[in-house]
Amino acid sequence: MFSIIEIKNLTKLYGQKGAVCRALHEVNFEVEAGAFVAVMGPSGSGKTTLLNIISTIDKPSQGQVIIDGRDTGALREKELALFRRDTIGFVFQEFNLLDNMTIRDNIALPLTLNNINAEKILHRVRELTALFGIDNQLDKYPYQLSGGQKQRAAVCRALVNQPKILFADEPTGALDSKAASELLACFQNVRSRYKTTVVMVTHDASAASYCDRVMFLKDGMISGKLETNGNTEEFFKKILNMVALLGGERNELL
Ligand SMILES: Nc1ncnc2c1ncn2[C@@H]1O[C@H](COP(=O)(O)OP(=O)(O)OP(=O)(O)O)[C@@H](O)[C@H]1O
């Protein structure tokens, strides 16, 4: 199987001499194309730092990030911007939809900016929103949607360019458990339909149990990994056990 993400000896230091914070320390892993992976760990363990570096928003202090066979550290700013546009989608905890645009225009925005033909744009928006169960919400504005619907619209927007990888930072953080499970089921659909690789940071063991694999970070290092056998409930229990085993902030991770 092809590794769409290869992380080699990744270290990230913040700050200057005398006040250096080591957010990541010699992290190594690979993610297979089409996988759905969760990154968990206590507050301050380096999850967001890792996601920002893999998604090329931030640069490492040391180490390599190879995405889809390309060493991102070797790309110039312009190449990197194009690479990011064509390869990566991003979803945040806050939905970041534009209030004065309809849901249709919000989702279509990345394609409109790329001068794609209008018919193609509408087709893509219809296909994605049908998959996410919000195809009857397209004429509405963000304030007229529930939190779960807004987040599904934000994911549609992140996918409209057909990225190979979708990065999600606490995508269920602002949702109730029903809206969260609907969103996670959508991620699974996207993965099986488009073979999109999904990498998600989460504090929520239940959200992580929808994934194929969970990586646990502690103090900027990978402290454990788990893989599902396909049974979500069993996987959920294993994740809880791992959280307890790794110690520290069990309550926070729940
Ligand atoms: N811009 C920055 N400057 C200095 N230190 C930073 C910066 N960003 C993060 N850090 C530090 O790096 C470490 C890892 O932070 P990071 O945000 O990646 O953790 P996290 O696991 O995502 O935490 P949380 O779950 O609370 O969001 C923390 O000690 C944090 O204080």
| Boundaries of every domain in the chain | 3-95+163-248
- Between 15 and 11, whose confidence is greater? 11
Angle at the Cα of 204 from the Cα atoms of 201 and 205, rounded to 5 degrees: 110
Q: How far apart are the first and last CA of the chain?
A: 33
Q: Can you tell me which residue has the tokens 């998959």?
A: 131
Q: Averaged over 122-132, what is the pLDDT?
A: 94
User: Cα(23) to centroid of ligand 1, in Å?
Assistant: 6
CA distance 219 to 50: 12
CA distance 123 to 107: 12
Q: Are 66 and 144 in contact (CB under 8 A)?
A: no
User: Cα(14) to centroid of ligand 1, in Å?
Assistant: 9
CA distance 219 to 23: 7
Q: Grade residue 92 by pLDDT with cuts at 50, 70 and 90.
A: confident
Q: Averaged over 40-44, what is the pLDDT?
A: 91
pLDDT in tens, 190-219: 999 999 999 999 989 999 999 999 999 999
Q: Averaged over 237-252, what is the pLDDT?
A: 75
Q: Residue 69 forms beta bridges with which residues?
A: none
Distances in whole angstroms, Cα of residue 222 to Cα of each of 89, 124, 205? 24, 38, 17
Q: Averaged over 42-62, what is the pLDDT?
A: 93
Q: What is the pLDDT of residue 252?
A: 46
Q: Grade residue 93 by pLDDT with cuts at 50, 70 and 90.
A: confident
Q: Residue 5 forms beta bridges with which residues?
A: 31, 67
Q: What is the pLDDT of residue 239?
A: 96
Please report how the helices 103-113 and 147-159 are oriented relative to each other, as an axis angle in degrees rounded to 10: 20
| Residue 71, SS3 per DSSP | strand
pLDDT exceeds cutoff 50 at 116: yes
Ligand 1 atom closest to residue 15's alpha carbon, by position in its atom list:
4
Structure tokens at 240: 């809880």
Q: What is the pLDDT of residue 248?
A: 53
Structure tokens at 228: 């599902």
Residue with CA at minimum distance from ligand 1 atom 24:
43
Sequence-separated (6 or more) residues with CB below 8 Å from residue 146:
179
Q: Averaged over 230-247, what is the pLDDT?
A: 90
Ligand 1 atom closest to residue 48's alpha carbon, by position in its atom list:
22
Q: CA torsion sign, 122 to 128 to 131 to 135?
A: negative
Q: Grade residue 115 by pLDDT with cuts at 50, 70 and 90.
A: confident
Q: Averaged over 10-37, what is the pLDDT?
A: 93
Q: Are 205 and 40 in contact (CB under 8 A)?
A: yes
* Ligand 1 pocket by Cβ (under 6 Å): 14-15, 21, 23, 41, 43-49
pLDDT exceeds cutoff 50 at 15: yes
Fold topology of 3-95+163-248: Rossmann fold (3.40.50)
Q: What is the pLDDT of residue 110?
A: 86
Q: What is the pLDDT of residue 74?
A: 93
Instruction: Give the other-Cβ count within 10 Å of 39's Cβ.
Output: 26
Q: What are the φ/ψ torsions at residue 163 (nearest 5 degrees)?
A: -70, 155
Q: Averaged over 79-106, what is the pLDDT?
A: 92
Please state, rounded to an integer, the average pLDDT across all residues of the chain: 92
What is the share, in percent, of the chain residues with pLDDT greater than 90? 78
